[in-house]
Structure 1
Amino acid sequence: MKIKDIHIYGFGKFTDLKMTNMHEFQVLFGENEAGKSTIMSFIHSILFGFPTKLQSELRYEPKEGTKYGGRMTVDIDEKGIVIIERVKGKASGDVNVMLEDGTRGGEELLRDLLHRVDKTLFQSIFSFNIHGIQNAHHIKGEDLGKFLFSAGALGTDQLVRAENSLQKEMDGRFKPNGKKPYLNEKLRELKHLRSELKKAEQQNEHYWKLKSEKERLEKELTDTQAEQALLHSMKLKLEAWMQIQPLKLEEMAILEELKEYEDIQFPIDGLSKLERIEELMKPLEGQISSLTDRLSVLAEELRSNIPDINLLGQEHEIIKAVESLLLYERLEHEEKELQERCAQLKDEELSVREKLHLTIEDKDLISINTSVFMKEKVKNAQEKYRRLDLKKIDLDERFNNEKQMLEEIEDKIKEYEKKLQSETEIKTLEENIRRKRVQERTQFTIFSILFSVLIAWGIFESTLPIILLGVIGLVFSIYLFNKKSANADHDIVKDRNQLGQLTQFKVQWTERNAQYERVLLDYETWENEMAKAEREMIELGKGLFLPREISLAYLSDAFELIEQLKKLYREKKMAIDRHQLITAKINEIVEAIEHQCNEFLGLTYSSIQEMAYTLRKRLKEEIEKNMAYEGRKKKFNELKEERQKNQLEWNHFKRKKEELFQQAFVTTEKSFRETGKLDERKRTLEEQLLHLQRQLKIAMLNEQEMESFREIADLDERIYSNTTKHKMHEENIPILQSDIAKVKYEIQLLEEGGTYADLLHLYKHKQSELDIGAREWAKFALAKDMLNHTIERFKNERLPKMLEKAEENLKYLTDGRYIKIFPKQEGSGFLIQRKDQQLFEANELSQATAEQVYVSLRLALAVTIYGKFSFPIIIDDSFVNFDQHRTKKVIQLLKQLNGRQVLFFTCHQHLLTYFSDEQIVEVGKEMGMPIK
């Protein structure tokens, strides 16, 4: 699964937030409180539902009433593009899922797409933050291995917490050598009770006899005390009746007198109410009279101080006109500056026109194309024309050089042709030389043979002079032959060298003549290019309204002057337009102030400032007058309202007074007061009756008892008889209590060790409590045993594959320093092997290395055991405690998770250097939001 797009309708601080085209490795950067946790919670909520109100997680409901929820577009391998939308509805929200083929569904379809993975499992395996990795810092040394094992098995420390919780529950109930645990205490109590039970068996029979005697005595005591209580109660009632008998007689007399006042009807506290009403009505009458007088005075003041309503109605316009005076002064100053600027621009324009020495109308000037493209075109044309001028100079120089060289070669050829003989003469000379060489060779041969024969004869005869003569003759013949041959060759070689040089000069003439012809062709090409360049220059000059001579000589300079002239024209036009606008605004301000003066002042003033000042002063006076008028008017209304209020109160009390008369069924105040006196006597009697009845009510006798006691003739004799019987019981009770105490003492002696039945019952009860506690301990022991079996099964079946990947990760993260992870043979935990084959417990590692082990296990768990679920891996600032090298290694490891999206949340700027700008989204700004 890959998250492609996120659209938050309303979630926490975000409203209508969109994130599109999310990358395979997506970094979400933002400062604290920027909203990273909100986006992470949004992803969890869309996939697994909003947290309910009973859960501790934040719901992130928007406070501004926007739509709660949003949607995500995800790419699922087997389903293609899927849109998941969840909005506020039932507890976890209403979800709508739409597949690429058009299939729609709800929560059930979403659970199928998520392979029935719930939120807890997803957060445990695929989503981890800094708190998970930092747990390795705070766990006790002996538990660190278990924590890492739990992280590798479940992604969290739930395994460690479960194991520790089960062991804690077991230790709280029983320890083999413990004293405080529940089962240990129960076992000690049972042992003690078993010994006490054996002692009680021997004294059991005598004990039950004493118990029976005690019960008989207690029953007799109870009966005596009950009879005594009845006698005492009757005595008290008779004495009470003796005291309340006069009160009962007085009650009967009052009831008889009250029958005379049965027809009187009078309101409660009627006379007091009448007095209070009259006391309240008298000051109200005075206040009403005083307020009427004050209202008359204020009405007169209001009539004599009415403000100018027309002037006040124009307050906004007057203030606007007066406040425009500052603008008026600024505009006057600007008007003067514009006049000076217009004059300056005219001078500059005249200067440019003089340099250009042409008359160009303004309408033509505006139509001239002075764009950068035209400027470049003019520049190129001017440059081309200049280059062709320079090329003409170069061609002239080449032409003269080639012509001179050609003439020099022609002179050399003529000179050598004069020196050389004709070809026939040369051939005749060569033929004579050959014949002469043949004769000389023949002569040389003959002489050589003769002198050789002479030498041979001298040798044969052993005659030295003959040998010398032969040798000298032979040498002379050779010398003479070589000298003649050399002279003949010299004459021929000399002629042939001159002929070769002549040939060479002719070849040079051919080459130079070809170059000369090429120069002439270059002249023709130059003339064509020059004509084309001139036409282009003249054509451009026409567009600038320039004559032919200026176009050819000063096209670029003229263009710059025209461009400058056009700029000056525009500036001058803008200045003139601005001047006209300012003049119109000044006139508008003056007219507005003059209009207000003519309407409300009616006088002539020397300046616009004086008019504005007078208007402001008059308006201020009328405003103050209006404020005073409004104050009086407000006071008038307040007094009027107060008088009306007092009048309403007076009328209210008058109605109350009339209601009192109606309740007493009278029409006059005199009749009301007479009836009130009779009502006071009636109420006095009723109060006396009530007081008597309260006294009678608190007496211990009820009405029936009082009626029965009224029939007793001799009350004193009845009281005396009752007292005598009560005294007899009073003397008998201490004797019974003494007998009971003796029996109880004997029973107590037997019960010091407990009776047999009680001890037996207590023993069975304690044994039952022990059985219940043992079953509780066994339940937790069984759960722990099942957990251990599960751990062993995990270690044997699923752990090896996960550890293989974890070892690969750890080796990469530690640059090969740690190479193996071995599960412990018993229970949970790991041993870590260093490259030197040394093994370490998890608590023996440094904190940084333990964190690297944790990361290795978590990533291995996600891609092996839970590899079939291709959910994104969500990481929230989990590596902030790593140094730069470890951080670089873990990020490189994450980038190697092919086929699985990684969402990396961070608030640390320095981590962004490991990612490209396209991968980074900054949270909390105007989101759309790649950093580029």
Structure 2
Amino acid sequence: MVSIKHLYIYQFGGMKQWEAKDLSAGLNVFYGENEAGKTTIMQFITAVLFGFSGRTQSGSRYEPKDGGRRGGKIVFYDAAWGDVTVERVDSSKAAGDVTVYLENGETHGEDFLKTWLNGLDKSFFQGIFSFGLDGLQQLDLMSEKELGDFLLGAGMTGGENLSALEGRLERKWSTLFKPGGRKPLINSKIAELKDAEENLAKWKKKNESYAMLLREKEQKSAAKGELLQRITEAEKEIGRLNKWMELEPVLQKWSESGRYIAETGDHFFPEDGLRRYEAWRAQAVSMEGELGYLKEKMDAIRQETDPSKNKYITGNEDEIRLMGEQYHRYKLMKEEAETLHAALAENGRSVWEISKEAGGEWTKEKVQSLILTLAAKNSWMQMFNNLQQLQQRKEILDDQLERSRKNLEEAEMKEEELRLKLMPDEDREKLVEKRQAFFQNRMNSSKEAELTAEYEYVTRLLKTEKNKSSYKQGIKWIAACLLLGVLMTAAAVFTSDILFYPALLLLFTGAFLAADYFKKKRYVLSLQKEEEKLRRYKNSESDSLNTEDWLQVLEDEERRRSQWELALRELEEEEKNYHEIAHALDQIELKEHRLYQEADTWMQDFGWNGAPHMLFTAGILDVLGKVKNLYEEADRINVKLHKLAENTASFERRVFRAAEEAGLKGNDPGFLLKEMNDLLNKKEKSDERLREMERQNQSFAERSAEITNRLKKIEEETKRLLTAARCIDENEFYTAARAYESYFAHKQTFKEASLHLASLGYDEYQIKDMAEAVLLEPAKLVSELEQMKEMLSLWKKEKNMLSDECSQLDYEMKMLLEDGTYSAAVHKFQQLKSELGNLAKEYAVYKITHAAIMKTREKYRTEKLPAVLEETSKLFAEASQNRYTSVNLNQDGLLYVQDQKNTRFSPAELSKGTAELLYLCIRAALAIHSGDLKMLMVMDDITVNFDKKRTRQAAGLIKNIARERQVLYFTCHEHVMEVFSHKKVYDLNVKSAV
């Protein structure tokens, strides 16, 4: 039994570094949601065993999306081999590189893996041991006949294509041969072979005429060949004669040079005699010229020698030479003085320009009084930076203030514009009250009748109260009672107490009447208000037709007022912002004033004498530092110039004194020194020249004697050369030399012409023959050439005639062969026979293969299929709780099931769940009887269409299978996982199963 102990995926599809450890040898359930990797793991197991899918194969190749390397390993357990680890990784090969590791440490490759799998291939594995719901549903779509064929095909090959293979074989041999057919290849080849055989018989008759024409053509071709040979020879001869004619100039030179050499005979002259003679004569002339040159040179030396001498120059030679040596230093001092004067002028210009940058004329005294210590510079830099910051901040605030002012003006204009559009407050309040009353009336519209009645009631009461006499005369009575009471009270005070009580009674009566009057008056006023209110309501109802107009006016007014209030708030905000910016500017101006006070203190402390406004110029202290340095540098230059002036004046005085004593005049020390040195050098040169003359006189005498001896030898050599040339004097020698040169030139021309002709392949005798023919008998040669050309023309015409006759014979033979040649007919006949034989062999192969398949099918049907059907019956009976007792094939090969009542049902007559349960039993039976190798089974959610009862039945079947072999079951349904809850469950929703 083969089972998986450990799964490890390096990278495969969307899974990376995933593993499942310690798988049991029985049932293993893998649970995961969609896209968790269930199908990926199933395909990974197949890929490790049988190789990765190639680019030409259908389906997903499960290449990693991040471009990594596909691969992984599986640890199997085999009872015979122990632990077997199969590792496969991506490589240049489509299937990848596989390595098999055994327990004993041995490693093997693909061949061992195939041997270990006992011939199990990918098709067989996926057909029997690895399937999902699609595999079961495909069986559900098959007809009864196709299901029977599936049992036979899957049991024999592991696939479902045995019937398809038989169909392809049948189509193949049908395209090759059909009894009585015409289109199949063998039928058409037989018809073509018959036509070829008839054509071959006709060609046997044509072949005799063809042979006669062929013999005649061969004779004419032979005659044509002889003519071609003659033409070739004639063309060669014509070419030879034309070549002779072309070589006439060369032959002419060869003949003339040879004749000259033969006529003049050999010439004797010393080898290279003329060159040697002229060389000796040239040496003699050169030596004679050298003697004359020496004499002239000696005379010139004597004339140039001046015996007179300057006494001062002779006595003060060291002083003059010392001054000459010091003159270079004098020139350097003069040049340095000029350079210093130029530097001083440049210094003055720099001071003026830099002072101009610093805001005016900075004299040396002003600059010297300025203190430029590090503390002063630091203090100035801090003030400068502070001022720059304040000015930058001030510029920013000025811009902000200007923008704020513009915004404020715009806000004021906007507020004023919106305010002018508002209606007066009184009109607005009236509209608001009117709207409140309108909406209040609308809310109370259901009480309209009651209000109308109330209005009429109030009106009647008001009329009643107004019409009452007591109301009209109440004021008179009240005034009378009160007035009388006051008078009686006053009388009681001044007279007696008798009138006090009546007066008090009158006062109480007047007060009572007044209270009653005012109470009634308030009541009347309340009635009037109520009447006015009810009257306004009635009036608002009467004005209901114009409600929309004044409501729109009020709505527009409120909208304008909202805009005005918003503009007013914006105006207040802008005013606040403007005042804040103005306050910030005031603060900055205050800081700026304090900074200028600090600058005044700094100018007093550090000696600033320039314009105060220039103090805060950028880099002003650095500029003034440069001015100060320039003034110091000018002082140093003036000191150097003074020293140089003293040294040059001292040297000039010495030179002028010496020149005066030597009798020389001039103002240029250099000129005077040159004159004195020239006098000194002339004296020295005169003494040296005399000594040199003495040496030259001695050398001249020796050279003179040498030249004389050499001239004598040259004269002796020329005499011997004349004797060797058999000449008396020089003229005769030159005549003999010219004659020898002419002879030598003809000899050279003859040699070159001979070599040229020899290079063309001619020997001495052929050259003589050519010269005689071309130079002595040219007319004969031309005549012979013309005859050869005429013969060539005749032979070419005869050759053309023979070519035309051969072409005619070719045409006649072609007419005989217009539908092919005899050999072509024979070749075609033999070719058709060969093709027919090959097709017959192919036809036999298909028939034999079909017969072998049928024989194998019959053997499987009689030997193995009963066991598979029996196992299927057993499993299906157990899974269906003995409702169905057997599964079998009838005589026509149709699959059926039989229940306890011996009633037969085809799979199409079963429910979908029962049919899929049957197909699961068939798969399990095929796996059980698949061979000696008990391979694990892989199933993917095959119970998804089952109800709870069928699910439990299928789970029981799978558990029974797992007792004999390992089962890996993949599902995404929790209720299925719960059925297998007591088994080992791996959660694919985490990175690695545990």
Q: Provide TM-score, normalisation by structure 2.
A: 0.38
The structure having more radius of gyration, on CA atoms, is: 2
